[in-house]
Amino acid sequence: GKIKCIIIDPPYNTGNDSFIYPDSFKESKEDYQKRIGEKDEEGYLLKEGLFRKNSKESGHYHSNWLSMMYPRLFLSKNLLSDEGLIFIHIDDNEVHNLRLLMNEIFGEENFISQFIWKSRQNKDNRNITGASIDHEYVICYGKRIKGSERKTEQYKNPDNDRRGPWVSGNMVGLLPQEQRPNCHYDLVDPESGINYGKPKLGWRYDQNTMSRLIEEKRILWPAESSGRPRRKVFLNELSDRYTGFSSIIGEKLFTRNGTAEIDELFGFKAFEFPKPSDLIKELISQSVEDGDIVLDFFCGSGTTAHAVLKWNVEHPEEQVKYLLVQLPEKINENSESFKKGFKTIADLCKERIVLVIESIKTKSKSTPKFFENTNIDLGFKVFKLSPSNFKIWRGSEVTDENLELNLESFTDPVKPESLTENMLYELILKSGYSLTDKIERNDSFYSVNDGELIVALNEMSQAVLSKIISSRPKKVITLDKLFAGNDQLKTNTVLQMLDAEIDFKTI
């Protein structure tokens, strides 16, 4: 896969979540009906009400949730690169089951940590068990995370050592005399002759190593014999820029910070319990390098995009891309968001990205210096899954009686409602290009990846043809109907493409 980092925040299965969604994988209709606990005569069609709540009373309470998660996690493994990491937000309701599921899909050996996030600032006194559950988890699988960037400010060079900035390090040993006799000896400064004796646990190095350190002038000798000699630790001799990353994350970031953030952007409480973007930024910091992609396929209000945009502003050298997926889940009609005109969660998410981008643009005007080194990408594209723009020949539905009608309808295989831009993206995808490849619009055709592929959907003439051929593409796709019965033009086109060794396709 190409994705470096997946961050998801699925429904926690609290007993009040609506997440039962009629996935149509290769499950039999009967199994599916059993799984969602309801017979639906229409099968897999997306209808109002099919997005259903999973309540604790259901005999399939945990199994429903796991059945929803399994295929999504299974697919996500294929999308991750070899060095990729996945972070999943979860709480006590399903953490134990999720870990088992992840062990099965990602392998127990790839478990990195069950991070703990103190999400609640004030105690919850409503719980009948008496326990105030103030934390959630983020479980992480992959090979390794980066670790915390070492703080280097404390490295100084007061004595102008040519080896550069240093800090002083403890040299007291770790084991008693019986276990490490060679580290128990009196330490004497050969220049001053001061004897510093030996600590209870001896010294960290044996006498040979210590002599080398003394010779290399790496020891700091106190003026008094009661002081403890220490060693100089040089910044440029450290083997790793990183130290361990604590398994306790999101210090001083609470759920209410997430809510405040979205409130500030929209001017009202547009979404319940979004994660704080700075918490997501912490996870991003553990996984990405310049050019990497972060994916969130339970994106909700789009906190992950917010976090990536903030990250990009703060890290000019490490520009990251985001890829979000959100089902068209309807917004509750009594909510303020609905009253403000948002119909689905996906609508809200799009608006949030627009608002974040606007705020970055405003900030860049007032503090141009801050943005000087940033070539941050402030554009994004939105796609909706939809049926093909082209008619599909269904052989099994063709009978002797309707054959003629069918053939006739295929003289133009383009569905009447198809829009040019939608056809363009469908053809690009089907030709193996990606949705983010560079597309330029010309007067008469589209050019993908600097002319590698040319898609002509509006007109075709000898002039257009000559222009296309002179730009030397690898492949050209056009619509048969553009030749409007002009067989001579079509034959010419085929021959000229053949001559120029261009792969030519008409639809």
Ligand X SMILES: C[S@@+](CC[C@H](N)C(=O)[O-])C[C@H]1O[C@@H](n2cnc3c(N)ncnc32)[C@H](O)[C@@H]1O
Q: Which residues bind ligand X (CB under 6 A)?
A: 9-11, 19, 21, 68, 271, 274-275, 298, 300-301, 303, 326-327, 329, 345
CB of 271 to ligand X, least distance (A): 6
CB of 172 to ligand X, least distance (A): 47
Comparison of 101 and 345: residue with beta carbon closer to ligand X = 345
5 phi/psi in degrees, rounded to 5: -150, 130
Question: CB of 68 within 8 A of CB of 36?
Answer: no
CB of 204 to ligand X, least distance (A): 46
Comparison of 80 and 428: residue with beta carbon closer to ligand X = 80
CB of 304 to ligand X, least distance (A): 7
Question: CB of 185 within 8 A of CB of 199?
Answer: no
CB of 54 to ligand X, least distance (A): 10
Structure-block tokens of residue 280: 């997501």
Strand blocks (E) in 14-90: 18-20, 52-53, 80-90
Comparison of 23 and 480: residue with beta carbon closer to ligand X = 23
Check the CA dihedral 173-177-182-184 and report its sign.
Answer: positive
Comparison of 10 and 84: residue with beta carbon closer to ligand X = 10
Comparison of 326 and 447: residue with beta carbon closer to ligand X = 326
Question: CB of 503 within 8 A of CB of 476?
Answer: yes
Comparison of 232 and 306: residue with beta carbon closer to ligand X = 306
Strand blocks (E) in 18-100: 18-20, 52-53, 80-90
CB of 10 to ligand X, least distance (A): 6
3-state secondary structure of 204: coil
Comparison of 203 and 271: residue with beta carbon closer to ligand X = 271
- Distances from the Cα of 25 to the Cαs of 20, 22, 71, 387, 429, in angstroms? 14, 9, 9, 17, 21
Q: Where are the alpha helices (DSSP H) in 92-182?
A: 95-106
Comparison of 17 and 426: residue with beta carbon closer to ligand X = 17
Question: CB of 395 within 8 A of CB of 410?
Answer: no
The closest residue (CB) to ligand X is 300
Comparison of 18 and 170: residue with beta carbon closer to ligand X = 18
> Under 8 Å CB-to-CB from 434, ≥6 apart: which residues?
428
> Under 8 Å CB-to-CB from 36, ≥6 apart: which residues?
20, 22, 52, 64
Strand blocks (E) in 398-502: 439-441, 446-448, 453-456, 475-478
CB of 147 to ligand X, least distance (A): 25
Comparison of 279 and 464: residue with beta carbon closer to ligand X = 279
CB of 95 to ligand X, least distance (A): 15
Annotate 25-57 with b (16+ C-beta within 10 A) or e (fewer). Answer: eebeeeebbebbeeeeeeeeeeeeeebbebeee
CB of 202 to ligand X, least distance (A): 52
Question: CB of 220 within 8 A of CB of 229?
Answer: yes
CB of 9 to ligand X, least distance (A): 3
